[in-house]
Amino acid sequence: VDSVYRYGVSMNSSPGTAPRHSVLDMSPEEFRRIGHDLIDALGDFLNGLPQRRVTPGETPAQVRSALGAAPLPDRGSDAAESLAHAFQLLDAHSLFNGHPRFWGYVTSSAAPLGALADLLASAMNPNAGAWILSPMATEIEAQSIRWIAEFLGYPTGCGGLLVSGGNMANFVPFLAARRSKAPWDLRKEGMASPNARKLTVYASTEVHTWIHKAADLFGLGRDAIRWIPVDDQYRMRTDELSRAIRDDRAAGLHPFLAVGSAGTVSTGAVDPLREIAAIAREHDLWFHIDGAYGAPAAALPDAGEDLHSLHLADSIAVDPHKWLYAPLEAGCVLVRNPEQLLDAFEYSPAYYRFELDESERPLNYYSYGPQNSRGARAVKIWLILQVAGREGMVRMIGDDIRLAEEAWRAIDAHPRLEALTRGLSIVTFRYRPPDVDVRDPAGAEYVNRVNQIVADRIQAGGEAFVSNAVLKGVFALRLCIVNFRTTLADVRGLPELVDRLGAEVHAELGH
Ligand SMILES: Cc1ncc(COP(=O)(O)O)c(C=O)c1O
């Protein structure tokens, strides 16, 4: 204490009157000047995206060498120069998922409005863990949750909160389900209870890998997952689901959670959600929908019966940083009964006094999920939903689906390409060398190899970006359009690119 006091005195000759000059503080003039320069540079960056490569396709060594290996500096540097340097590094050595021809994984083109919202949120920096620390940010988050629920056709009285992304948006309901359905005091005894080994969870073979992590991290172990087979459209087979639950019950196990997908990661398949809901109800299981990718398509009038059944779920994961076009990071949890989140996550330590007056129950988000301090992620989502409106959002999502249909048609019409699957805005396909018989195992393996190399070359080349899926042993190229910048011309150019690279690889391998 003494030395801190002396340090303070030595900084300010007359304590209490002279301003403190901290190295990280900025004068309003400096903040404005540097900020305007950055916004100008970002404006040019966004404007120039379509003319650039999706990625420079560099090696880790090249990127590290551009960054340099300087040790932590002893002396600080100029903020404007350092920020400009950071801009230059990222501008020259990044993959741009905002590029019109980025169609890999499930990563959206982010709305520029989201970037401005993030700046606003971090400049004000409310802590959305507790209401009194973030009065308006908390209310904006609550309203965003209600808007998302409304958009998906989910009851707006639900609970929910924003998290970092799809994995977390599935983990939170997984934990709420485990707490709600475990027939012992889970929060006290934990997974050391002998009953813990009996918990089983049901998901199709197509569910995203978050479920491996959840079963593993939360103490059930991967053996607790029952992998339910899919039909020829990659949808869960509900007869197999019923059978697996009955078999486990008969064996004295405790089935507690059924997971359906609203848009699987590989092919965009939507599980028979109504049927899964009925089976879950019959057997008293929690019904969770992983709609991280596809749930927003439920807002389309012609989305179909299963997407229009999201309201049957106990919980839903949906990712604003996927098909609501928010910048990373933003996932969203919806849980029908808000009490079930409190049941799973609430603690009230003596050092928090976050209660309001007795008439109001405060909305303290730290009690609804695993995070304690939380940023104001909701600002970007609230702004994006407000500015697009339901109509604008539906139009963008619908256009993405129509562009995927167009890609499917163009691929299907091409003599050396084979269209494999189409679901929501995902299309899978492959290059088919004309002189190779894929019914022969060696031929099938060879075609897989060709397509793996084609995928690598597309990804490094920067003309467009697709990722891959493996479908019953077939290596497929995969495009997923969650990108409001993609045009018809972008999509129509893809078959020619794949054909050119396919022919090149086939010639090189000399089959
Ligand atoms: C269906 C589905 N669930 C979960 C996830 C995981 O989301 P995130 O990468 O945001 O954690 C993904 C990612 O693509 C997904 O497609």
DSSP string, 256-278: EEEEEEBS-TTT--B--HHHHHH
With a 6 A CB cut-off, is 106 part of the ligand 1 pocket? yes
With a 6 A CB cut-off, is 292 part of the ligand 1 pocket? yes
Under the banding of pLDDT at 50, 70 and 90, the label for residue 350 is confident
3-state secondary structure of 475: strand
Q: Rounded to the nearest whole angstrom, what is the distance from the C-alpha of residue 444 to the centroid of ligand 1?
A: 29
Average pLDDT, the chain: 95
Token pair belonging to 490: 């972008």
Under the banding of pLDDT at 50, 70 and 90, the label for residue 361 is confident
pLDDT of residue 115 exceeding 60: yes
Under the banding of pLDDT at 50, 70 and 90, the label for residue 8 is very low
Q: Which of 338, 183, 171 is nearest to 255 (CA)?
A: 183
Q: Any idea which of 89-93, 166-170, 188-192, 392-396 has the lowest mean pLDDT?
A: 188-192
What is the rounded average pLDDT of the residues 108-115?
Answer: 97
Q: Which of 408, 449, 458, 451 is nearest to 428 (CA)?
A: 408
**What is the 3 state secondary structure string of 158-210?**
CEEEEECCHHHHHHHHHHHHHHHHCCCCHHHHHHHCHHHHHEEEEEECCCCCH
Measured CA to CA, the distance from residue 405 to residue 410 in angstroms comes to 9
- Which helix (H) or strand (E) segment holds residue 332: the answer is strand 331-335
Closest approach atom of ligand 1 to CA 106:
14
With a 6 A CB cut-off, is 290 part of the ligand 1 pocket? yes
Counting residues of the chain whose pLDDT is more than 90, the rounded percentage is 92
Measured CA to CA, the distance from residue 393 to residue 383 in angstroms comes to 12
Closest approach atom of ligand 1 to CA 321:
10
Q: What is the pLDDT of residue 19?
A: 78
Token pair belonging to 384: 């994006």
322, burial (CB in 10 Å: exposed 0-12, middle 13-18, buried 19+)? buried
Contact 224, 201 (CB under 8 A): yes
pLDDT tens for each residue of 84-105: 999 999 999 999 999 999 999 9
**Angle between helix 378-412 and 112-124 (nearest 10):** 160
What is the rounded average pLDDT of the residues 4-9?
Answer: 44
pLDDT of residue 438 exceeding 80: yes
Measured CA to CA, the distance from residue 390 to residue 201 in angstroms comes to 35
With a 6 A CB cut-off, is 167 part of the ligand 1 pocket? yes
The torsion angles phi and psi of 161, rounded to 5 degrees, stand at: -165, 165
pLDDT of residue 432 exceeding 70: yes
Measured CA to CA, the distance from residue 476 to residue 335 in angstroms comes to 35
The torsion angles phi and psi of 448, rounded to 5 degrees, stand at: -60, -45
Closest approach atom of ligand 1 to CA 168:
11
DSSP lists the bridge partners of residue 239 as none
With a 6 A CB cut-off, is 165 part of the ligand 1 pocket? yes
CB atoms inside a 10 Å sphere around CB 245: 22
Contacts of 389 (CB under 8 A, 6+ apart): none
The verdict on pTM exceeding 0.75 is yes
Ligand 1 test: best mutation among 103, 106, 236, most atoms within 8 Å of CB? 106
Question: Where does residue 143 fall: left (phi above 0), alpha (psi -120 to 50 degrees), or beta otherwise?
Answer: alpha
With a 6 A CB cut-off, is 328 part of the ligand 1 pocket? no
Q: What is the pLDDT of residue 511?
A: 67
Question: Is the Cα torsion angle 62, 477, 327, 344 positive or negative in sign?
Answer: negative
